[in-house]
Every structure is written in C-alpha cells, then in structure tokens.
Structure 1
C-alpha cells in the first residue's frame, strides 16, 4: 500500500509516501536553462559548531555546501543561496534567477545546506532531545560562521559585498540574516517569505479560494457543495462504502475517528491548495506540473459529471493518477508513526524536522473550521497542536507553541522588521503572501507584488512562457541589486515604494 504527503520540504511539493497530502512551504528544483551548459557540481564541507550560543560546547559537525565560480571576476560580489527545509539540490547551484544575476554582476555563488536537513547530520539522530539544536537562531549563526570562514578559505576580499537569496522559509532567513548580521550581509532578496509566525493560519485557504474564484466562481461553489455533501454522509455515518469507493480510500473509513476524518478533508483540500500554491511555476518538470488550477476547476464545473461530490472525487482521481498512486491514504496514525521516526535514514526525515519547527517556532497551520468554509469544518487548530504533543512528547502542547510563536515574532519583528536593502517578492496566487511583506513599511527596502504568480515563481529560471509581469519583476530585482551593489554601506538609496505588477 502506498500513501502520500505533500510536505514542506524546501519549497517543494513532494510526492513522498507518508500519511496524507499536506501543503506547506517549499522551494522545488529549477528547470535547467537551455542556453547554458551546467557546470560540474562538487560537494564541500564546512566544519560548523553544534551550538553557537554555548562557548563550553565544543562539538562540531560538517555542513554541506557547493560553489559556482563560472561568472566570477575579481572584485565581484558574493551570492549566498540559503538552504531550506529539505536536502540541498545541486540544480540550484547551476540554475535559477540568482545564477542569471550572477552572470550580470560577475558574482561567485555559494549554496549552503540547512542544518538537520539533507546530508549534514549535526547529531547521531533526530531525537526530540537533539532537535533542540534545530532553530532559526542556530541556522542564522551557521550562515554567519560560514561567511566569515569562507572569506579566509577562498581569499575573498573584505570589500566584496555579500547578497543573500532565499525562498519561502529560506526567504525568511535571508531577511532575518540581513537584520541580525548587517555587517556581514550587504543586501538580500527574500522571495515568498512568511515573516509573521502564526498558529492559526486560516488565511491560507482564503487565498486558495480567491485564486480558484478568479478563474471560475462556479468552481468554488462546487467545491463547497462537495464538502457539505461529504460532511453530511460522514456525520450520518451512512453510505460510507460510497465514500470508500468514490475516493479510492486505502482503508475503510471509520466515521467516528475524528482525526482520520480530518486527514481525509485535509487531503482532498490539498488537491487544490498544492496546485494553486505552485500554479504554473518553472520547477523541474514532473507530472503534477501538467495540472493547473484551471485543470481542476474545469473538472469541478464539468456538467457531464452528475454531482459536486463526484466531481470532487474525479479531481482526486486525477491527482492519484498523476502520482502513480492507486488509493488515498488518510490514516492519522500512519502520519504520526512516520513523524516519530528519528533515524537519519528515514526517507521522511525532513518532514519530522520541519514539523518540529512548526511546533516550536512558527505554527503556520492551515485551518478550516467553519461550517460555511469552502473546504469544510474538520481542520480546527487543535488538530495540529495535538499532533505536536503526540509526535514529540506531551510538553509540546499549545502553550509551548504559543510562547514559541511569540518569541519568533518579537525576535525578528514580524511585519515590522527593521532592516535595509531587502527586496521582498510575493505572488498574488501564493497563499503564503498573507504572512509576508507585500507593502514597504521600513526605509530603504522594497516590496514587489506580482499579480498572477505563485510560490517562489521569481526564483526559477526565465522562460518564454513567463507572464510579462514576472519578467518585469525579475528586471526590477536586478535594478535594485545594481543600485545596492554600487553604493557604500553608509549611503543607501531613498526609501522604496511597493512595486506592483499586474
């Protein structure tokens, strides 16, 4: 039996075989540019401290990084791509908008993998006791330590300007790095970054609803009716066999198991949310890239299909077939057991690590808990917070999370972050823009809002199929970099206004 979760693994919408379809943050792999031959990529290892904030702790580990020097000329800047919540992809070392910018500015490019994700293992396993070393503070200190050490290793001039790049969670890190270590980082490009930590992220599905409605308002109506029909069947505990068959459930549904029911509703909502979040971006081609929000809405408004519920099931069929799956797994216990696996060898290690960060620092839980909600009422916030305690231990409760979220917000300033020379980029279709900087609020920063684009779209390589407003946004980012790279640290350009591309 196979089952699937769409997890926050580096801005990617991964098809991994874990308990359910769960839409999170993530950066996928870029398509390789057709006009440039990829350079050989070599892994290097930087000796890193385990705990940057305890001088008596002498433990170290080796952090993986890669380098691209093909465009570098003496005196050029240093570009740093920050790794996110999955294994670092070598494709980013040779591809993406940042590499195109590197060619323009003669930059040397480094990509650094995030601690606890990928091939660098700071501890013997990912037990809860060891995950205490997984935090944004430690990750930012890793970046600072790496920059200082790399200057010596590669004889980088003290005058060379460092520019940080990141998307999604790593986009947040890029902005926070500029804020916390301004003497090391000259500027940053922060793409699709959620800066506001929030436990109940109910706005997520509102953006999904808006994106679907913009294409076809009737699509949203049909989804809502389908969820109401599904809920009525489950509440009455009748015709459950019909649900088992129509949605190709891997195991018979127990309507009295509320957590299994929640996973089922989340899985079916994820069919739409995942497609909206990454709609028409330029990630490495895969089957799901062939499916767009238009594809799903066309199914939901197909009058030849008898009822909204059957249309909802037809969408699920399309998503199953696109991932070569034969059935839908929704069992809560499967998800919990997978997240409890502390081995580095687990194929779902990144899921465990990221879930830990959501349980201690961010929240980010996409809730749906009102009867009139498009995706139903079966995803209350306590469904997610209860899972934290079940996976990591009873002390990881809602109170600990609330304190952690407060700490994240007052540490980094949420949407009132005070920094300079950061350009924030968001797409209107991306649900995560609801937690990001879409309007300039501080001096000497810029916000770019691109109508019609999805999560991290500006980070991928340029393509002939790009929307005109996306092309303009990339050019505007380049203009800001040109400005910031030609001024000294104490002579910033004037305050920037929000730039909107329709």
Structure 2
C-alpha cells in the first residue's frame, strides 16, 4: 500500500484530491488523481489497532431492483467502549478508500462519544477496501457503484441495526469530504433513519470544471507568502519555455527527476507532468497543518510555509524553476519515491485493470468511475490568473474517462450525469434539517460547499473556520490547534447535544 499510494498518486495526476478521506472517511484518504478528491496519500495511514475486528453485514447488491436478490458482505467496525444504554448511535460513513479502524479510537467524534455515551460504528463504502459487491471491477459491475446505492446501503444497514439492537436510539451520521456529502444526503433522503448529520468539508455541488480549486490554492498560498505565487508562475513559465526545444525536454527530465524520457510534443504527458507538479502544492494546501501525524503521515510536517520558504529563498544561484524542482524533490523524498512518474499511458493502463488484486482496485479505478458518472470535480488549469499555467485544461481530465472506461463515457455523458446529481440532491439548495455543515477557509473544496448560514435554513448549523484545511475538525485535538478550530469542535458538540435532547 505504501509504495502504491506514494508512486501511483503522481502517475494518476496529482489532483484527484480528495474528497479525498481515507476516506476511510474520505478525509483520511487524501487524493488520487484528477478531480478526485482525496486519495493521494493513503499510503501514509496507520492501519489501526488489531483490537478492532472486521465485522460483516449481509448487504443488498441493487437496492432499486427488487427482482435482483443478490447479496454481498459489507465490512464494518464497532466501538462500544463509551456506550451507555439509551445513548445515541454514531455512524461514521466510509468513502473512496479503505476503512481504517484507527478511527474507531481516534478523532473528534470519539471525544463526542465519550461525552454523550455513544455507540460507534464505521461502515465501509461499497467497492472500496474489503467490501467487494462483485467479482471484479469491469464497467458492467461498476454500474452498482454510486452514491445512491451507497446511501441505500447506509439505510438498509441502519434499519437492520435499529430492528435488532437499537430500536429507540437516536442516530448521528459523520463524514468528511465525499462522506461528508453522503452524511448530508443521508439525512436528506432518509430522515426517518438518521436524526442528525455532521457534514465536514463536503462538496455538495457536482461540477464538471472545478477550476475554482486552484483559485483557493492561490489565495491560501498568498495568505502565507505574497511572493510565493509570483515565483511559482515564473517557474511554470520557464518550464513552458523549455518545452519548445528538445534540449529543454532533457533539462526538464533531469531537473524534475522524471521516470521516463519527456517528449515535449506529447500533450497528454505534458499535461500530466504539469498537473503533477502543481499537485505538490495542491496536496499540501488541502491538508495544511492538520493533525494527520497520528496516522503516520509522511508529509504531516510539510506545510504551505515549508514550500513557500523554498520558492522565495533569496539564493541568487537558483532560478524559480530550480526552486520548483526542489519542492518536487522534497515531496519525492518524503514519500520515498525514486522519480516523478508522469506517463499518461501508464496511469491509464493501470486504471484499466479490473481485478480486485490489482493496484487500481485500491481505489483509483472506482473513484475515477464515480467522477465520470456522478461528480466531475476536475481541477483544471482553466482559471485565469492562477500561477500554475494552463497545461492541464478540462478536456485533458475528461479524456481520461473515455480512455479508461470506453468511448461511451463522452463529455456529454459526464455532463448529463452531473446535471442529474445536482437535480437529485439539490446542490446547495438541498432541503434538509439538523445538519452541521463544517468547512475551512484554506480547504479548496469549500468552494463547492455550504459556508454561510444564509445558504441554508435555520434548522441547520454552518461553521466556517478561518485558516483551517480539509476536514481539520475531524482529526484528534492538538495543542497547536488554532482557537477557531477548538471553538468549532466545541460548537459541534454543543449543537449535537442540544438536538439529541429535543
């Protein structure tokens, strides 16, 4: 797992940012590739305590076809340490990565469970981790992978648990990133089953061209060091200049320690390379100064300030491009990678694998399928004024769907799927109550979420934390946490407590 997520994340285009927790809760997963929220650095995660055993639930394959009676075994974890009879049931929603049992004993939701005497459950998302509904990952089988089916899984699981064990208890759903969206949608679609939801860093609007992502990255960098973006832009401009001649291709290959020779006239490889280099900053911004250290994150101590200190160093012997390459080397070393993998054909070939034992099955193929059939979320370079150039436009991201899954996955097909997602759930206009929407100002995904109280009804609570990144409120508390983050966690507990008493 460690080699896979360290190396393949780059070859899959560093922007699959993620939703993405390990995602075990999506926010644990970080990010894989284009448009993809969150799974780049799952390699960093501690796989948790062996004291938390795998449990299995007989789940329905297709909840919307009564004639299909097939079932499969879905993995879940429980922690009843803090449970007091009559207390609430906390349900942590899994996302686009393997569910991690370490979250059964860590995280802010565990602190809330101690206060409220809650019974804690984490349910792994279908098609991720060990939850295998079908024999393989062919497109024919992936038709059963969708947020709607995942929500129905939650409903069927919750209803069964209510019937067998918790007939009168109140339920509180938690999720971050994509699972944060699921938490809000679970309350929307099945309000009779879940009483309260805490939706952290949730992108609620499906969007084909998520060009605003780099706009938030630019603003977050500028907030830290106003000269940093200027140096990034100069470095990118220099790299683009080197693409114009063959000697320049060789120079880029050497400077960025590329795994293969660079052909500057291969637009797919060029786009992949420039997105990968931008992804160095995108990843660090998205998870800036969070508290992932308990998971064993190899980049937990690397921040925006770390990267910008390199970019704005006054060493007259180094150009902006040299510093951009130094940032890349820093990330390579941190993730124990030998070189920068940028070949588009390699990433496509990998994600075309359909066997459960393949590296693609660790989450990349599945999440790419969901972005192609539901969400988009493609973090293109199409936003004017951002410093990372324009070498990875929207059509580069969209092409990947066709190349991996077939010609029927056209731009028109993807856009229609996105229209349906927003029609189905409501985007920011979802009609829901008793949901706590939490976002951080540095997290690029807040651009697709609910960040102000006037964007929803008074029956919900909106918390927008200045200066924090993706899912920061979900991680265990740290002495280094800013006051705004501490206050947000306290406010979440206060609101859950109040709603439970009503």
Same fold per superposition (TM over 0.5): yes
Cα shift readout 1:152-195 (whole Å, capped 9, x = no counterpart) = 33x2132x110000000000000000000001110100000000
1:84 is aligned to 2:84: no
Report the Cα distance in structure 1 between the residues aligned to 2:225 and 2:175, rounded to whole angstroms: 33
Residue aligning to 2:482: 467
In the TM superposition, residue 386 of structure 1 has moved relative to its aligned partner by 0.9
Matches within 5 A, 1:265-304: 265-283=274-292, 284-304=295-315
Matches within 5 A, 1:274-353: 274-283=283-292, 284-304=295-315, 305-349=317-361, 350-353=363-366
Match of 2:388 among 366, 370, 375: 375
Q: Secondary structure at the match of 2:263?
A: coil
Q: Secondary structure at the match of 2:148?
A: helix
Change (3 A) 1:272 1:338: same
Residue aligning to 1:495: none
Cα shift readout 1:258-289 (whole Å, capped 9, x = no counterpart) = 00000000010001010000011111233211
Does structure 1 retain, via aligned residues, the 8 Å contact 2:256–2:325? yes
Residue aligning to 2:118: 107
Change (3 A) 1:22 1:290: farther
Cα shift readout 1:37-71 (whole Å, capped 9, x = no counterpart) = 97921211110110000010010001001111011
Report the Cα distance in structure 1 between the residues aligned to 2:265 and 2:433, rounded to whole angstroms: 53
Residue aligning to 2:136: 125
Query: Structure 1 stretch 110-119 or stretch 323-332: which is displaced more?
Result: 323-332
1:47 is aligned to 2:58: yes
Does structure 2 retain, via aligned residues, the 8 Å contact 1:13–1:23? no
Q: Secondary structure at the match of 1:123?
A: coil
Change (3 A) 1:172 1:194: same
Q: Secondary structure at the match of 1:239?
A: helix
Does structure 2 retain, via aligned residues, the 8 Å contact 1:64–1:113? yes
Query: Structure 1 stretch 257-266 or stretch 6-15: which is displaced more?
Result: 6-15
Q: Secondary structure at the match of 2:139?
A: coil
Report the Cα distance in structure 1 between the residues aligned to 2:104 and 2:49, rounded to whole angstroms: 9
In the TM superposition, residue 373 of structure 1 has moved relative to its aligned partner by 3.5
In the TM superposition, residue 3 of structure 1 has moved relative to its aligned partner by 3.6
Q: How many residue pairs were aligned?
A: 479
In the TM superposition, residue 227 of structure 1 has moved relative to its aligned partner by 0.6
Does structure 1 retain, via aligned residues, the 8 Å contact 2:34–2:397? no
Does structure 2 retain, via aligned residues, the 8 Å contact 1:425–1:449? yes
Change (3 A) 1:23 1:306: farther
Q: Secondary structure at the match of 1:81?
A: strand
Matches within 5 A, 1:52-71: 52-71=63-82
Does structure 1 retain, via aligned residues, the 8 Å contact 2:35–2:377? no
Report the Cα distance in structure 1 between the residues aligned to 2:275 and 2:95, rounded to whole angstroms: 24
Report the Cα distance in structure 2 between the residues aligned to 1:110 and 1:61, rounded to whole angstroms: 19
Does structure 1 retain, via aligned residues, the 8 Å contact 2:211–2:383? no
Does structure 1 retain, via aligned residues, the 8 Å contact 2:229–2:387? yes
Does structure 2 retain, via aligned residues, the 8 Å contact 1:84–1:170? yes
1:401 is aligned to 2:414: yes
Cα shift readout 1:270-311 (whole Å, capped 9, x = no counterpart) = 010100000111112332112111000000001115211111
Report the Cα distance in structure 2 between the residues aligned to 1:448 and 1:370, rounded to whole angstroms: 27
1:191 is aligned to 2:193: no
1:156 is aligned to 2:166: yes
Match of 2:147 among 136, 140, 149: 136
Change (3 A) 1:365 1:430: same
Match of 1:177 among 163, 173, 186: 186
Q: Secondary structure at the match of 1:86?
A: coil
Match of 1:366 among 379, 404, 422: 379
Query: Structure 1 stretch 322-331 or stretch 403-412: which is displaced more?
Result: 322-331
Q: Secondary structure at the match of 1:47?
A: strand
Unaligned runs of 5+ in 1: 488-502
Q: Secondary structure at the match of 1:477?
A: helix
Residue aligning to 1:4: 8
Matches within 5 A, 1:5-20: 5=9, 7=16, 8=18, 10=23, 11=26
Report the Cα distance in structure 1 between the residues aligned to 2:116 and 2:50, rounded to whole angstroms: 18
In the TM superposition, residue 26 of structure 1 has moved relative to its aligned partner by 5.1
Change (3 A) 1:250 1:335: same
Match of 2:433 among 417, 420, 438: 420
Change (3 A) 1:248 1:421: same
Does structure 1 retain, via aligned residues, the 8 Å contact 2:35–2:379? no
Residue aligning to 1:499: none
Change (3 A) 1:144 1:22: closer
Cα shift readout 1:59-102 (whole Å, capped 9, x = no counterpart) = 00010011110111111011100000011000111111111100
Larger helix share, 1 or 2: 2
Change (3 A) 1:323 1:23: farther
